[in-house]
Amino acid sequence: MWFRRDLRSDDNAALYHALKSCRQVFCVFVLDRDILGVLPRADRRVEFIRESLVDLDGQLKRLTDANRRADGGLIVLHGSAGITVPELAHALSVNAVFANHDDEPRSLARDILVAETLATAGRSFHTFKDHVIFERQEVLTQTGKPYSVFTPYKNAWLKKVDDFYLQSYAVQRHAAALAGRPEAYRAATPELSGFGFVASNLADLKIPTGSTGGQHLLDDFVPRMDQYHATRDFPAIKGPSYLGVHLRFGTVSIRALATTALKLQQRGSEGAAVWLSELIWRDFYAQILSNFPHVVAAAFKPDYDSIQWEQGPGAQALFQAWCDGRTGYPLVDAAMAQINQTGYMHNRLRMVTASFLVKDLGIDWRWGEAYFARQLNDFDLSANNGGWQWASSSGCDAQPYFRIFNPVSQSERFDADGKFIRKYLPQLARLPGTTIHSPWLASPAELAAAGVELGRNYPFPLVKHEEARARTLQRYAPVKKPG
């Protein structure tokens, strides 16, 4: 069993099928040099994975011990997965390798290489759906084509889903097939330094890791789910589930989450219905990536690739100011401080910051997409790409090009008291009332009393929003439809 983005023993499709089909099953995770090699030495995601591997190892040991087998646990190796997995299969003399699907283009290419190498040696490679409820072409239009608009996809998703698609995989029932690790592979999960990394601030952030952490967050969220629809847009309120990183690395089961939300929705919970829609959006973007892989590098709507974005040193300076949270718009800057300090950004703020970069600064959405990919703990290619293309109006079922978030009105509406801004921009904490949303409109006396000196400890706005909005409407002229 080759674990990848499914770091749990419970309700794991590939692990279930391996245990059910085979006499004995070894479990492995590869710290893949091809992925890790480009990351900074202190990376919260790597540390999350490492801690989750320790948790998974403990789960497997308990399952093995319960079936009276010694030396259970997870084999953790460091190497190029495309090479290391076939080599381990040979060393262990196994007949087959089991894994769950990963539909990102690079992962698909890797899996083709692994399958071919294994086949040459007479070994089979079996993969299964586990990361989403519906994948690839499981939900199609009446004409047999993939959906590109969310609402009809959601309706079809809800019509199709039933107990069969949500049933849990009974891993424990077949856990007697878990094999003890050979002596050469009994080493403990390596410390970060063992594969070239150092500690990040993950521990300081108190982000729960592994299946244990994922279950803790779910237990905390369920009593709040009824109010999700009313709290989810306000970054200073504990509204979200905070399960994004756990969904990304599979330390929670998507089937368990969808089942919980559906049951509460059926009891009339508006919050559960809205949260379920968020899970369906996740499936939607996953099937977009699978069926329209060109979105990785280009606009879903080809016409949008003709837009002329800002270029040159001026554009680079604007982009760097956005990255650093120096735009002069407090809600945008506080959101960027949040992602830079924690690897998390509230979903409402992801939309606000993306809209600002693309439609206020005129920067190519791909620049922002790449920055989020580096910073987000829960980075997922399909969701990140879908979100950025939505914000830039270039994606499927995206906001219209003329819908441009006003960063001040967004701030006044969703952080009215400035609580979130004050947390991440302490230099503005003493600004009174509504002045915290637009410091440049504050009087000299208000600024002085708050200790704010524009241009010194907080920047002037990079652009005037109304002027930027007018430029954006001109920029998008090539994609305007006549009439």
Please tell me which residue in 104, 135, 291, 309 is annotated as part of the active site: 309
One-letter amino acid at 119 equals A
* The 28-32 sheet, strands edge to edge: 2-3, 28-32, 75-79
Let me know if 281 is a catalytic residue: yes
Q: Which listed residue (2, 281, 322, 390) is catalytic?
A: 281
Residue among 106, 135, 111, 133 at smallest CA distance from 124: 111
Asked if 322 is an active-site residue, the reply is no
Q: How far apart are CA 195 and CA 256, in angstroms?
A: 33
Helix (H, G, I), strand (E, B) or coil at 30: strand
Q: Which of 2, 275, 322, 365 is catalytic?
A: 365
CA distance 395 to 63: 45
Catalytic residue among 291, 340, 347, 406: 347
Short-list 87, 94, 136, 95, CA closest to 114: 87
Task: Check the CA dihedral 72-78-84-85 and report its sign.
Answer: positive
User: How many whole angstroms separate alpha carbon 438 and alpha carbon 465?
Assistant: 12
Check 275, 367, 388, 390 and give the catalytic one.
388
Residue 178's beta-bridge partner residues?
25
CB 408 within 8 A of CB 329: yes
Tokens encoding 68: 């009276």
Catalytic residue among 104, 138, 278, 310: 278
Active site residue 278: yes
Helix (H), strand (E) at residue 51: helix 44-66
- 365 in catalytic set: yes
Q: Residue 438: phi, psi to the nearest 5?
A: -150, 75
Q: List residues with catalytic annotation.
A: 278, 281, 309, 347, 365, 388
